[in-house]
Structure formats: structure tokens, C-alpha cells
Structure 1
Amino acid sequence: MRLLFEVTGVVHAPLEDVRARMFADAGESGPHRLVDREQGVIAYWGDWWYFGEDTLHLHPEGALVRHRVYNIARQGNWAPYLANKMFIGYRAKLEASMRERVRRLQS
């Protein structure tokens, strides 16, 4: 498993309030999804290369939300780069998405 991207955001609200909001519509674990409310983890993965993980941590200013994207391809681990156009613009999309998530979690 190779870490490709990591973005974080700080929600200026108590950790337990953020946890309740984050998991309000998270659903349950399934074949391509792990939901662990106690540990503050939501993970989801595809069939061949993608593994995304959201984690929640205590932060001096509230709660830290971390999103990580991993390449889990066992063979042809170079192929996700081609399939995703070398991930050009991907980080910017993740950062924009994190800003929006922080905004929603603070409300």
C-alpha cells in the first residue's frame, strides 16, 4: 500500500460534535467500506487500486480531519497514474473537497 496523497483540515468544534456529524450518514461497513465510529475511521476501496481513508483526531483547536489516498494495486501499480492522467490536478481537487468538508462539519 503506497500513500499517494494526504490532505487535512481543522474543524473548530469539539471532537465529539465533529464525530457525530461525520458519522451521521456514514452508513455501515460493507464489502468495500469500513466504518469504525469508535476509532474515528471511514475507509473505502475499489477493486484494483484505490483505497481512501478518512480519520478524525483531537486537535488543540478542535478536530483534525485527515483524508489519505493509497495505491493498493498488487500488480501494475503504475497503471493508476495512467488511468488518472498522472493525477494532474488531483491534489487541488482533494484540497478543495477538504475545505468544503471542514465548512460542512463546522456548521
Structure 2
Amino acid sequence: MSRAPLCEVAGVVEAPPDRVGRLILTVGPGPVGRDNAWLYASNEGTVEPYGGAAGSYGGTAEGGPRRFILRAPAHTMTIEVTGATLAVQGGWWYRGEHTVEPHPEGTLLIHRVFNVAERGRWAVPLANRFFAGLGDRTRNGFAEGLRRLGLELGCGTRLL
């Protein structure tokens, strides 16, 4: 991706990259849950209707082998898995990428948010008041995801 991210946040997961990657990067056709598109499952790791906590989409992934459509009650998003990166894209402008990298303490997990609007890119911040506080909301949501990841893998995590 050649554009600079709107925001970026990272954290360390005290588990090997292959273990973290299996959880973060595993996406296949079927229900979203503990063994499929884990980032988009509920905090309990079960499929549930949209309307739960932020990041709890539930739904079903279709397609493959590296690009899928996530259909949930309130929206549809594209999921792409390329190497060590899982990207989701939806709506007019949003693209979020999670990248798994080696780190001396285990794994470095990086989350970046991009404005990928093809037309009217300049209008996205004007039309979307969501950008006010985007960095803080992204950081807080990522911190909660790190906490869940640590619980799921039985290891420590820390926000950078």
C-alpha cells in the first residue's frame, strides 16, 4: 500500500509469530469464530449477530483462498490474507491491516488504518466526523484486542 496510514498502533504478544499468525491470519469459508477470522468473532469467540462489543461482527466468510467476503447483519466487508497481513476493507474509505512480525519477545502485531477512497478522497474527513479521535479509538480498540489475544493464547501482551 503506497498511501500513509491515518493511524498506526502496535503491540507485543509474548508468543511465537507462527502461533499468533495461525489465530490472526486463518480465514476460510464458513462461520466466523474461534478457528476462523478470529479477529471478527465475539469476545467469547462465538458467532453472534452484529451489535455486540466493538470488533464483534459475527457473520460468515465466503470466497477464498486469500480473499473473502464477510457478510454480517449490518455490513459486508472484504477480507484479504497476504503473507503475514490480514486486511479488511469496507464502506467508502476504510481499510484496516493487521501484520504479524517477529519480535525479540515473541510477536509484533501492527494495526494500520488507511483511507482508500477512490473518488472524493479529500472529502472523507469532512463527511466523516469519525476521524475526530480516530487515533485514540483505534488505540483503545487495539489494546482490547491485544488483551483478548493474550487470554486466547495464554500469554502476556503489551501495547507499544
TM-score, length of structure 1 as denominator length: 0.83
Determine whether 1:25 maps to 2:36. yes
Q: CA deviation at 1:69?
A: 0.9
In the other structure, the counterpart of 1:34 is 80
Any stretches of 5+ residues in structure 2 without a counterpart?
A: 27-34, 38-60, 70-77, 152-160
Indicate the structure with greater helix content. Answer: 1
Runs of 4+ deviating beyond 2 Å: none
In the other structure, the counterpart of 1:60 is 104
Query: Pairwise CA RMSD of aligned residues?
Result: 1.9
Instruction: Tell me the matched-pair count.
Output: 105
Deviates more, 1:55-64 or 1:24-33: 24-33
**More contact order relative to length (CA 8 Å, sep ≥ 6):** 1
Of the three residues 6, 9, 26, the one matched with 1:7 is 9
In the other structure, the counterpart of 2:143 is 99
Any stretches of 5+ residues in structure 1 without a counterpart?
A: none
TM-score, length of structure 2 as denominator length: 0.58
Q: CA deviation at 1:78?
A: 1.8
Q: Secondary structure at the match of 1:97?
A: helix
Q: What fraction of aligned residue pairs are identical, expressed as a percent?
A: 39
Is contact 1:53–1:69 with CA below 8 Å preserved after alignment?
A: yes
Is contact 1:2–1:72 with CA below 8 Å preserved after alignment?
A: no
> One-letter code of the match for 2:81?
V
